[in-house]
Chain A
Amino acid sequence: NAGVTQTPKFQVLKTGQSMTLQCAQDMNHEYMSWYRQDPGMGLRLIHYSVGAGITDQGEVPNGYNVSRSTTEDFPLRLLSAAPSQTSVYFCASSYSGLSGANVLTFGAGSRLTVL
């Protein structure tokens, strides 16, 4: 099992460019999410999905777009990259747990630099 696969691992963009971070999971998890990690800020939720065709905003959604057409894939689109979006991005998948929050399985991360 590959778990959660993210591509690319590294990316450099110029301000204003657009790009898509890919995320795929093979665990048949219903939930998928995107977090960004910045020094001292922990992990902040960007967008999440509770199933195919259903997405919702997290804490820091501005400048990002998502869609979920299949259970397996959850791409994150940067519409017009800004230097403030320089960060490490983690995709995670999970299934519904009993504790009111799911146990997350993270991908290896994508390091994005916007010049």
Chain B
Amino acid sequence: QQPVQSPQAVILREGEDAVINCSSSKALYSVHWYRQKHGEAPVFLMILLKGGEQKGHEKISASFNEKKQQSSLYLTASQLSYSGTYFCGTPRAGNMLTFGGGTRLMVKP
């Protein structure tokens, strides 16, 4: 089952903060986050593991709540380079990922 991401789109000014949520209807052991810039391939950001610590990448951090079956991505003091579509992915058979529908983030000057 595909995880659900919210919001679907966010528009920010440079320096503002944003939160992107990812929820699953099934038990999660890990959540993966990817970012895709316009016209490019998705690129891996981080993995959140069950029982693991909060991860960080640049000024982007994330949390993982196993009980609530959800993960949140926090973008602090947004930069223009943060613009793109963010996807969460959850494990499925074959060590593959099932991705959410994506959250489009636009950071304006």
Give a binary string over B74-89; 1 marks a CB under 8 Å from any A CB, 0 the rest.
0000000000000101
B109 contacts chain A at the CB level, 8 A cutoff: no
Task: Give Cα A54–Cα B44 distance, bound, in whole angstroms.
Answer: 25
A26 contacts chain B at the CB level, 8 A cutoff: no
A interface residues, tally (CB under 8 Å): 30
Residues of A within 8 A of B101 (CB): 40-42
**B8, B41, B43, B101 — which one has the most chain A CB atoms within 10 A of its CB?**
B41
Residues of A within 8 A of B96 (CB): 31, 33, 45, 48, 58, 101-102
Known: A41-B101, A50-B94, A59-B98. A99 touches B41 (CB 8 A): no
Q: Are A43 and B95 in contact (CB under 8 A)?
A: no
Q: Are B100 and A42 in contact (CB under 8 A)?
A: yes
Which residues of B46-102 are within 8 A (CB) of A? 47, 49, 87, 89-102
Q: Are B41 and A107 in contact (CB under 8 A)?
A: yes
Task: Give Cα A54–Cα B94 distance, bound, in whole angstroms.
Answer: 11
A44 contacts chain B at the CB level, 8 A cutoff: yes
